[in-house]
Amino acid sequence: MPFVNFDHVAQQVPDIGEALEWWQRMVPGATVLYADDTWGLIEAGGARVAFVTPREHPDHLAFKVSGAELERLAAEHAATIAVHRDGSRSFYLDAPGGRGLEVIAYCDVLAEDAE
């Protein structure tokens, strides 16, 4: 049975820079891993939090799988896989309560690393 790993949680915010600065001040050890005008990612305490603009991404939880598992799950759920600016591939599903689920695979992750 394939395994999944938690990858990140994403929250919509109106201003990426403001969110990153605030979280860095409030959470000891928070490190910015990536930032641009529409998407930012911090890591703190072993957790990764993405800040996204509403026009780019929904609020969601993301789980990492291998590329093969991504393909299998997308076919099972009739989902379209999108390729992102960093080369990762993913699809979104609507979860109960209006929440989103992102299933993601990274191009530099081997199948055994995701499991």
- Domain locations along the chain: 5-114
Write down the pLDDT at residue 111: 47
The CATH class, in words, for 5-114 is alpha beta
Q: Which residues of 71-93 are buried (b: 16+ CB within 10 A; e: fewer)?
A: eebbeeeeeebeeeeeebbbbbe
pTM: 0.84
- The type of residue at 107 is C
Q: Work out the pLDDT band at 110, boundaries 50, 70, 90.
A: very low
| Residue pair 48/42 in contact by the 8 Å Cβ criterion | yes
Which of 86 and 40 is assigned the larger pLDDT? Answer: 40
Percent with pLDDT over 90 in the chain:
76
Percent with pLDDT over 70 in the chain:
91
Q: Using one digit for the tens of pLDDT, what is the confidence trace for 50-79?
A: 999 999 888 999 999 999 999 999 999 999
